[in-house]
Structure 1
Amino acid sequence: MSNFAHADGQTVVYRTYKTRFIGLFAIVLLNISTGFVWLTYSSALNAAKAYLNTKEMVVNLTTILYFIAFLIMSPVSGWMFEKKGIKYSLLFGAIIQVIGAAIRYIATFVASSPTNPGPRLALTLVGQVIASGAQPFFLNAPPKFAAVWFSEDGRTTATMIGSVANALAAALAQLIIPVITVETDPDTMATSVLLCLVLSVVAVVPVLFTPALPPTPPSPSAAAALEDNVEEPFWISLKKVGSNRQFIILMTLFGTFVGFFNAFSSLITMFTKPFGYTAEESGYFGAAMVVAGLVGAGISGPLMDRTKQFKSVVKTMVPLSTIAYIVFCFVVRKDFFIGIMIVSIFIGFFSFTMLPVVLELGVECTYPVTPASSTSLLWGSGQFFAVIFLFVLQALQNDDKAVETGVNAPLIFIAAICVIASFPVYFFKSPYLRLEAEGRARSNHGHVMVDSKRSLSGDEYGMDEVSLEDIKDVKGAKAV
């Protein structure tokens, strides 16, 4: 849809293009593929231990490597988004992932035994490290892509679709990989590794057909973003975001809950195993969280596009998520599959409902700084906390004590930290800076103006199409 405004013979037009869905599909597919690569081994813990001839801690390291690599590569991805654009950044990440997935598959042809596990294990870890470097390029992309390609009436939904794809992959991986990987036959691990390689290769294709930029911007903030990102170095934007007190509150909140969810998804098998649940059953718990989360995010995205009540949703969902984690401590026991499933559904629904909302809120409270800066710091905080939580939760795990007391210590730790982390959300009071700027720009009709004879619309309206360079040459194209 286009937005028209007329002032003294000049025309202001903002419109969206159908090709934006190609890029969104590419981001979704890339996030799904990286989710499978991420959880390949931890989703089939016993088979992976036998396949790699190693301990459970080393198998969990394949997950931890993803979080560590994210912290290292996230700033790089943000810099590339600003310097090379979304398309070429996604393509770079996709190629890295294919290389890493290919190395992991090559490792399946290397012999491994309890006395000589080194070569296969080394190749697997090298491939995992390379592939994990691609994840920030995919996770950080949705808010940036939505800001450039979607109007204010569709940005949160687009962010939601792109962001939850990774979690969808986590659910699918926890369901599919345990099925195709037989615990009594570790060689079947090769099938899962091959599946991940195929997904990684397929995910490259839609990126090739993704346009680099929209011919014309969909909103005033998009027009300003397309210009300002070229002028302001990414590192300066990152510094501005990091010194924003309201954003720090948001980052701490996001980091804690995303970190716990990532650690929770990675270690769900470890938490439930002492009480007699199999890896396949644990996969159902993880899948229940994600499926319910997709429903929650599917509701919150379009709802926020209509109401813009970002802060209200976050301040409601945070305490509800905390309560769900507390209840989970007491439902994880023997022969209570239904109870665990129900609480897993609530955890997923409450957590995912606020995921796209917080990502968009991060952009709103730091505008006009580029979305890549806020997004990379938000996801980076989630991965940073995930690394810490993974080590702490594994250290706290004691199967014998859990069975004896009926309560698992790591779950108590999660609930306690969630209670502490939930309080700062009530101090978050930032205005919606981007929405306010767009409102002023539209009312003033002065954001992007060209001669009325050269409309900024597309050829489907029978008008001439103007490139981004044309827009940059127009005076007064800055955000108000």
Structure 2
Amino acid sequence: MTTGAWLKVLSASPEYFYLAFLGQALVGMAQIFILGVPARLAAVWFGPRQVSTACALGVFGNQVGVALGFLIPPAVVGNHEDVKDIGHDLKILYYGMAVAPSIMLCLVLFFFQKEPPLPPSPAQASLRQQLPITDKSTDRQTYLQTLKSLLTNRNFVLLLFSYGINVGVFYVVSTLLNQTVLLYFANAEEDAGRIGLTIVLAGMVGSVTGGIILDKTHRFKECTLVVYFMALAGMLAFTFTLTLGHIWVIYITAGFLGFFMTGYLGIGYEFAAELTYPIPEGTSSGLLNASSEVFGVIFTLAGGEILGAHGDIATNGTLTALLLAGLAMTLLIEGKALKRQAAITLRHSHTHLEQEEMLTTQT
């Protein structure tokens, strides 16, 4: 990501468009890996009553970056008549975008620890106990074997598709938001940008709220179903309030949609970690991100074509039908197939038995 950001610094000139494209591609590829970090870090560093909130805060950080993306570039880069002035503003923007990840890279290189000295949860303790007795030459799964294990896990595959559909629909809504709003409100470009910001900010709150609720209840499937259903309701509300002619109503329905649709991100990561334990959380969340990117590209291209040919009602109706299909897939996931919670329960049982044996021996 840092390399791509510095390439963009060098590309702030019309003749270096290819360099800007290369830098953007590197940043985009890095995003797949970075988006999977919160679930892994949360599992390694936080206990069972903190892990979902920690993951949600990681997703929250990502959404803060998206929100800043709505605010900072328009404030820094002006719409000048002279291309050189635009290039000057872009150079300032790109320097800021390169210095920040460079600082983070140095902090990670010099201060980042792989794991805490003591495991923060019974699930992590079980994993550490298994590592010393593992024969590295024969028993350690390769990455391809891990992928095979994930892709043959029926519950995870259902989540993989339902997650990709949800986030893919969110990408379409965000990408086509400006065009959709302008169909009903002339000269509302600034309002469209603020509505997009509202979606992101509401999603940040939704993400943290979902993490806290998961830590309190550990009801992963139930929370996922509720959030998915409310995202579906938000999509319907957003679709049919556009025709009312009141821009303030769109702010409300878009915020409602963003709260649940973006709030689903962290919940999806944690649900995947529960379904696929002891496979590393970074692998499962990486697949979820890849699924969302694939569905996002397909849905965005299709959504643009439908919007141009048949209008926004047909487009949003299609997106609503896709969310309904994703909700149906979520219903098919077995709610009792929570392997990480089972490991925690088993670990507690073993600890309790060991304590009883020690008391009996002392007696």
**Given the two structures, how large is their TM-score scaled by the length of structure 2?**
0.85
Which letter maps to 1:143? A
Residue 421 of structure 1: how far off its partner (Å): 2.4
2:349 corresponds to which residue? Answer: 443
Which letter maps to 2:7? I
Q: The residue matched to 2:293 in structure 1 has which SS?
A: helix
Alignment of 1:105 onto 2:6: no
RMSD of aligned Cα (Å)? 2.6
1:466 corresponds to which residue? Answer: none
| Structure 1: stretches of 5+ with no match in the other structure | 1-96, 113-118, 453-480
Q: 2-side partners of 1:270 and 1:195: how far apart? A: 30
1:273 corresponds to which residue? Answer: 182
> For 1:387-402, what aligned pairs fall within 5 Å after superposition?
387-398=297-308, 402=311
Q: Percent identity?
A: 26
Which letter maps to 1:282? A
Q: 2-side partners of 1:420 and 1:385: how far apart? A: 13
Counterpart among 108, 112, 127 of residue 225 in structure 1: 127
1:202 corresponds to which residue? Answer: 103
Which letter maps to 1:242? L
Residue 342 of structure 1: how far off its partner (Å): 0.5
The answer on whether the counterparts of 2:163 and 2:326 sit within 8 Å (CA) in structure 1 is no
Counterpart among 390, 410, 414 of residue 315 in structure 2: 410
Which letter maps to 1:167? Q
Alignment of 1:286 onto 2:189: no
> For 1:173-184, what aligned pairs fall within 5 Å after superposition?
173-184=69-80
1:127 corresponds to which residue? Answer: 23
Aligned residues: 341
1:151 corresponds to which residue? Answer: 47
Q: The residue matched to 1:151 in structure 2 has which SS?
A: coil
> For 1:288-327, what aligned pairs fall within 5 Å after superposition?
288-327=198-237
1:420 corresponds to which residue? Answer: 325
The answer on whether the counterparts of 1:225 and 1:370 sit within 8 Å (CA) in structure 2 is no
Higher helix share: 2
Alignment of 1:235 onto 2:131: no
**Given the two structures, how large is their TM-score scaled by the length of structure 1?**
0.66
Deviations along 1:222-267, one digit per CA (max 9) or x if unpaired, are 1333455973322212211111111111111110011121332234
The answer on whether the counterparts of 1:140 and 1:376 sit within 8 Å (CA) in structure 2 is yes
| Structure 2: stretches of 5+ with no match in the other structure | 359-363
Alignment of 1:214 onto 2:116: yes
Q: 2-side partners of 1:281 and 1:184: how far apart? A: 22
The answer on whether the counterparts of 2:36 and 2:285 sit within 8 Å (CA) in structure 1 is yes
Q: The residue matched to 1:259 in structure 2 has which SS?
A: helix
1:446–1:122 CA distance, 2 compared to 1 (3 A): farther
Residue 409 of structure 1: how far off its partner (Å): 4.2
Residue 100 of structure 1: how far off its partner (Å): 0.9
Residue 448 of structure 1: how far off its partner (Å): 11
1:216–1:368 CA distance, 2 compared to 1 (3 A): same
Alignment of 1:349 onto 2:245: no
Residue 128 of structure 1: how far off its partner (Å): 0.7
The answer on whether the counterparts of 1:178 and 1:279 sit within 8 Å (CA) in structure 2 is no
Which letter maps to 1:308? H
